[in-house]
Amino acid sequence: MIVMRSKQDLLIEIGTEELPPKSLSGVAQALHDEMCDAFKEHALDFATTSWYATPRRIAVIIRQLSTCQPDRQAQRRGPALSAAFDDAGKPTRAAEGFARSCGATVGQLEKLETDKGRWLIFDARVKGKPTKTLIPDLLETALKRLPIARRMRWGASNVEFIRPIKWVVLLFGRETIASEIMGIKAGRQSFGHRFHHPEAIPIEQPDDYPALLKKPGMVLANYNERSALIRSQVERIAEKNNGTAVIDPELLDEVTALVEWPVSFMGHFNPDFLKLPKEVLIASMQDHQKYFPVLDKAGNLQASFIGVANIESLQPALIKQGNERVIQPRLSDATFFWNRDLNNGLATHIAGLKKIVYQKKLGSLYEKSERLHNIIASLAIPLKVDINNAQRAAELCFCDLLTDMVFEFPKLQGTMGKYYAAADGEDATVAAALEAYYLPRFAGDALPSTKLAQCLAMSEKVDTLLGIFAIGKVPTGDKDPFGLRRTAIGLLRIIIECECDIDLKALLDIAADNYPDAINAKDRVDDVFQFLMVRLRQYYLDAGVSFDVFESVLAIRTGKLLDFHQRLTAVTAFRKRPEAQSLAAANKRIGNILKKSTGLDNDKIDDDLLTAGSETTLAISLQAYQKKVMPMIANRDYQATLTELAGLRGDIDNFFDNVMVLCDDNDIKRNRLALLNNLRLLFLKIADISKLQG
């Protein structure tokens, strides 16, 4: 007697030719997610899941997957009752035809009555489909939806995938699901390491899969386990040789995707190459050879590297020697580039920038550097930076893009500019700025540490934002091809976190003046400013600042972001005071009164028209507080100012309790409105606290 189990494990393995290493884990995880979503959509329950990825396969195991969909109730709506029966109550042809389509008689149909109408309906119980009949189509759909940038075809087939498919394993419990996936007949045979175990490996049940691939297959299928093993091997070898491995996360991912059976080893190169900048050696080892560089205890680069082989060799010394031979010409090339760039000099590339298009409508890199030359002059004086050094940095900042070394290693742009400028005898602050002005490159990245670098970074970012806006390439939705959102956040972070006391709106105006009239950059200044304010709001919300506090300061419309930050800090502290809610409500009330009032032609308060004791007291207090806090405001001591102004709460409350502002006497009314307007203007010198919520 055969007992059908309600739950079974599912194994899906797609065997291929070598997959692109940089997209391997993403594609494998996407297959896992697509299948999980498909099963949920088809009401198929499952327990735990795992995904696997090696250079020649992506795989998924779904554990305790339901073997059949649950039955479900389905309701079909037929003709309206008015069309289903004639005047004598007999079924019409419409009712009979609907009944036949449902496999029922008219008598088996039911009536549905709602406030929208009355219809014939048929309730049926739809039997769930067996899971194994659904899996092939769900898998085909999932494979077609994978995030593959460029698909390929092979042979005479029209099937498209990231690489040619060699085998497919489709195992549900102990049963192979007979089907054809992407033109390949599914079975239960996987394959091990290309060299160590090229023979087929029959899989009896999904749970056996990772263990069988490991032994006898010599394939470590679990991507994360393989990554952790490589890291531990590399760290152990480095430590054994009194060093520390430089393990870049992206390189670790790439190496993990290149090997199925990792065996790490240490190699060495000629110490004479250590005369090169360490960034050059590291780039050559990482980019060209996929090696992990090694530092000594002092943080200096060693003349050694750690590689990861995809084979357990009987003669490991030969693998080490082979890799040492390969790295020699790579580092020799780097030495050649370094020496030729030094001989040429960095400044010789200034003229060459005229031939490099920055953006078709915005001109060449030379034209962009000229704009930076002008913009940075407006920043140098307020930030106390030597203007000659600042403008020299603007002239040189793109020059290293034309060097041989950066052509070979694009990620070294900026870094090589620093080295070449220093070798040419440029000022040390200029050389440092050429590297640091690229910062921040991503969220959470470090910021330029010197004022000159900050000036150069701000100039470049402002010019980029304004120029791209001016030619109509504004970010829309999730499309931001020029990375303007990242540029905006970088600009804001530099101004705020590096405490650069500049007026952003004025800086945008200066940047706009450097574009020709045909670009219409001046017309986009306000748009760029608003774009930056939207990013600024998100910057502060992410930092935990409440929305109403941000809006209260935004209402002041200050273009000085450092000043904005100081006001924000003050209002955040003020909001916690017991007087805050009452004063916010009072300011909101004052604002509403002033909006509805007309005839307030001046703010001067006439003491002779102060008839009530409460308004006299408030007027005297207001005058005293104005004298006291105005110097504080001038010094931007906003927190102390709001702390002082909190003392007005009692006088303001008494005023509203005892005084009718909109009285019948027009002169007294105007005088009281002037008093309130003066009071509101005093608070508005810091923020619009009427926007604070309880």
pLDDT tens for residues 563-604?
Answer: 999 999 999 999 999 999 999 999 999 888 888 876 566 678
Q: What is the mean pLDDT of residues 625-634?
A: 94
Radius of gyration of the chain from Cα atoms?
A: 36
Please check whether residue 274 is in contact with residue 268, taking contact to mean a CB–CB distance below 8 angstroms: no
Where are the domains positioned within the chain?
A: 7-69+130-214, 73-126, 223-342, 351-544, 577-691
DSSP 406-427: HHH-GGGTTHHHHHHHHHTT--
Residue range 7-69+130-214 in CATH 3.30.70.260: yes
**b/e 645-672 (16+ beta carbons within 10 angstroms → b):** beebbebbbbbbeebebeeeeeebbbbb
Is residue 609 very low, low, confident or very high in pLDDT (cuts 50, 70, 90)?
A: confident
Residue 125's SS3 state is strand
State which amino acid sits at residue 30.
A
> Cis peptide leading into 631, omega within 30 of 0?
no
pLDDT at residue 290 greater than cutoff 90:
yes
217-243 mean pLDDT: 97
pLDDT digits (tens, 9 = 90+) for 191-213: 999 999 999 999 999 999 999 99
Give the alpha-carbon dihedral of 433, 461, 361, 521, to 10 degrees.
Answer: -130
100-109, 500-509, 666-675: which has the highest mean pLDDT?
500-509
pLDDT higher than 50, residue 2: no
pLDDT the model gives residue 1: 35
Token match 């200096």: residue? 300
What distances in angstroms separate CA 540 from CA 188, 458, 493, 610, one per listed residue?
Answer: 55, 20, 11, 44
CA distance 107 to 553: 71
pLDDT of residue 407: 96
CA distance 184 to 165: 7
The token pair at 406 is 């950066």
- Answer whether 368's CB lies under 8 Å from 437's CB: no
Residue 264 has pLDDT above 90, yes or no: yes
Range 296-320 average pLDDT: 95
Does 339 have pLDDT greater than 50? yes
Q: Under a CB-based contact definition with an 8 Å cutoff, are residues 169 and 203 in contact?
A: yes
Mean pLDDT of 384-397: 97
C-alpha 582/C-alpha 655 separation (Å) is 13
Residue 537's nearest CA partner among 485, 584, 591 is: 485
For residues 537 and 528, is the Cβ–Cβ distance under 8 A? no
What pLDDT was estimated at residue 373? 96
577-691 maps to which CATH number?
1.10.730.10
Beta strand 180-181 with 175-176 is unpaired
**So what's the pLDDT on residue 72?**
73
Mean pLDDT computed over every residue of the chain: 92
Q: Are 295 and 301 in contact (CB under 8 A)?
A: yes
pLDDT tops 80 at residue 3: no
Name the residue type at position 420.
Y
Q: What is the pLDDT of residue 664?
A: 83
The confidence score (pLDDT) of residue 98 equals 87
- Of the chain, the percentage scoring pLDDT greater than 90 comes to 79
Instruction: Name the 3-class secondary structure at 529.
Output: helix
The answer to whether the beta carbons of residues 646 and 574 sit under 8 Å apart is yes
Length, in residues, of the chain: 694
Q: What digits encode the pLDDT tens for the residues 446-497?
A: 999 999 999 999 999 999 999 999 999 999 888 899 999 999 999 999 999 9
User: Taking the domain 351-544, which CATH number applies?
Assistant: 1.10.3210
Least confident of 54-63, 343-352, 605-614: 605-614
| pLDDT at 364 exceeding the cut of 90 | yes
Q: Which residue has the higher pLDDT, 73 or 248?
A: 248
Share of the chain above pLDDT 70, in %: 98
Q: What is the pLDDT of residue 666?
A: 83
Other Cβ atoms less than 10 A from the Cβ of 513: the count is: 13
Which residue stretches of 6-61 are H helix?
Answer: 24-41
Give me 332's structure tokens. 């020799």
**Residue 17 pLDDT exceeds 60:** yes
pLDDT band at 116 (very low <50, low <70, confident <90, very high): confident
Give me the pLDDT at residue 274, please: 96
Q: How many other CB atoms are there within 10 angstroms of residue 11's CB atom?
A: 25
